[in-house]
Amino acid sequence: MKTRTNNPPIGIFDSGLGGLTVYRELRKILPSENIIYFGDTMRVPYGNKSTESIKIFSSEISQFLLSLGVKMIVVACNTVSSTSLDIIESITKLPVVGVIEPGVKLAIKKSKNKKIIVIGTRATVNSHSYKNKIEENDPTIDVIEKACPLFVPIVEENFVNHKASLLIADEYLGEFKSKDYDTIILGCTHYPLIKNLIKKVLSDINIIDSSKACAGYVKDILTNNNMLSKNDGDGWTDFYVSDKPQNFMELAYRLAGVKICKINIKRF
Nearest distance in Å: CB 216, ligand DGL: 18
Nearest to residue 133, comparing CAs of 100, 106, 99, 110? 100
* Edge-first strand listing for the sheet containing 115-120: 142-147, 115-120, 183-187, 206-209
Does residue 18 belong to the site contacting ligand DGL (CB under 6 A)? yes
**From the list 188, 194, 205, 215, which residue makes contact with ligand DGL (rule: CB under 6 A)?**
188
Residue nearest to ligand DGL (CB): 47
Nearest distance in Å: CB 204, ligand DGL: 26
Does residue 58 belong to the site contacting ligand DGL (CB under 6 A)? no
* Edge-first strand listing for the sheet containing 35-39: 96-97, 72-75, 10-14, 35-39, 237-241, 264-265
Could you tell me the CA-to-CA distances from 161 to 21, 76, 133, 252, 262 in Å, in that order? 19, 25, 33, 18, 30
Pairing status of strand 264-265 against strand 237-241: parallel
Active site residue 77: yes
Q: Do 5 and 237 touch, CB atoms closer than 8 A?
A: no
Nearest distance in Å: CB 41, ligand DGL: 10
Does residue 45 belong to the site contacting ligand DGL (CB under 6 A)? yes
Residue 5's φ and ψ, nearest 5 degrees, are: -80, 155
Nearer of residues 14 and 235 to ligand DGL, judged by Cβ:
14
Alpha helix positions (H), 138-265: 151-156, 163-173, 195-201, 210-224, 248-256
Does residue 192 belong to the site contacting ligand DGL (CB under 6 A)? no
Does residue 168 belong to the site contacting ligand DGL (CB under 6 A)? no
Does residue 73 belong to the site contacting ligand DGL (CB under 6 A)? no
Residue 41 neighbours by CB distance under 10 Å: 20
The count of residues interacting with ligand DGL (CB under 6 A) is 18
**CA-to-CA distance for 228 and 210, rounded, in angstroms?**
22
Q: Do 264 and 258 touch, CB atoms closer than 8 A?
A: no
Does residue 77 belong to the site contacting ligand DGL (CB under 6 A)? yes
Active site residue 214: no
Nearer of residues 84 and 121 to ligand DGL, judged by Cβ:
121
**From the list 58, 84, 183, 189, which residue makes contact with ligand DGL (rule: CB under 6 A)?**
189
Segment near ligand DGL (CB under 6 A); pick from 2-10, 24-32, 118-126, 233-241? 118-126
**From the list 8, 11, 12, 15, which residue makes contact with ligand DGL (rule: CB under 6 A)?**
15
Residue 248's φ and ψ, nearest 5 degrees, are: -50, -55
Binding-site ranges for ligand DGL (CB under 6 A): 14-16, 18, 44-47, 77-79, 120-121, 124, 152, 188-190
Residues with catalytic annotation?
77, 188
